[in-house]
Amino acid sequence: MRRDATILIAAVLALGLSLSGSAGARTTAGLNIYAAASLTEVFKAYDGTEQYNFAGSNVLETQIRQGAPADIFASAAPLNTQRLFAAGLVDKPVTFTANRLALIVPKSNPAGIKSIYDLKSKDVKLVVANTAVPVGSYTRTVLKKMSLLEVLSKVVSQESDVKAVTGKVALGQADAGFVYVTDARPVSDQVTVVKIPAWAQPRVRYEIAVVTKSSNRTAAEAWIKGILSAKGQAALKNAGFLSLPKPT
């Protein structure tokens, strides 16, 4: 009997250690952060210990609606976070940074583009993001402000996120594309930036929120507090993002 009891106790202890290890796996694996594709480099540089899912903000919104195991959602447009907030799927979002748009062309610049207005007068293969993606919507805002919506007839492909647009231009598969200025930086040896006038810039605001069903809320709230801190804001600024916008 004593031997049987010893074996039982050993089994219980082993099971306890196994369960403890399993529970710890969620913590050591880090947070699941769903973030706009344009945040890829800066978020990884700021904190490389977490698990990231980078994509178009609209795609990430859909995934969260479908129950994806996200802890945090960082969007390139308030529309996506605010819709989830209205549906009770994320806590109240906060603005944490801003950005600007730019036109990029390959270093070889085969179409000879030196100004945004050249898109109208030259034979151009233009690539943009589709309208459901924040950068795609912002692109059309720029073109409307500059009375250049007609250049959309020169679009050869509409991409699912800003990284896809950047990649096609960098590889010379298109003559020009609209991206965030921060996305041009990592490929600065492959593309040239054509600035967009300040008056034509859209209001690009990024929002972040804890996903309501997160099983790691305390850590998620702390992470967001960190990105809003001086350290987090410095990381964003170093990557080319704009300072935290003042409340309006």
Q: What is the pLDDT of residue 247?
A: 58
Residue with tokens 């960190």, as numbered in its chain? 226
Strands 176-180 and 126-129: parallel
Please report, as a single letter, which amino acid is at residue 90: V
pTM: 0.85
**Residue 231 three-state SS:** helix
Q: What is the pLDDT of residue 248?
A: 52
Please report, as a single letter, which amino acid is at residue 104: I
Q: What is the pLDDT of residue 243?
A: 81
Give the DSSP letter string of 182-209: HHHGGGTTTEEEEEPPGGG---EEEEEE
Residue 70, domain extent: 28-98+204-238
Question: Does 148 lie in the same domain as 132?
Answer: yes
User: What's the half-sphere exposure (Cβ side, CA atoms, 13 Å) at 247?
Assistant: 1
Q: For every one of its 248 residues, what pLDDT tens digit does the chain have, with 9 covering 90 and above?
A: 444 544 444 443 443 433 333 333 333 468 999 999 999 999 999 999 999 999 999 999 999 999 999 999 999 999 999 999 999 999 999 999 999 999 999 999 999 999 999 999 999 999 999 999 999 999 999 999 999 999 999 999 999 999 999 999 999 999 999 999 999 999 999 999 999 999 999 999 999 999 999 999 999 999 999 999 999 999 999 999 998 766 55
**Residue 211 three-state SS:** strand
Beta-sheet strands, E only, within 71-134: 72-75, 94-99, 101-106, 126-129
Question: Does 110 lie in the same domain as 193?
Answer: yes
Question: Does 92 lie in the same domain as 108?
Answer: no
Question: Does 108 lie in the same domain as 189?
Answer: yes
How far, in Å, CA of 98 to CA of 242, rounded? 5
Strands 101-106 and 126-129: unpaired
Asked if residues 46 and 235 have their Cβ atoms less than 8 Å apart, the reply is: yes
Rg, the chain, Cα only: 23
- In the chain, the number of structural domains is 2
Q: Could you tell me the CATH number of the domain that includes residue 124?
A: 3.40.190.10
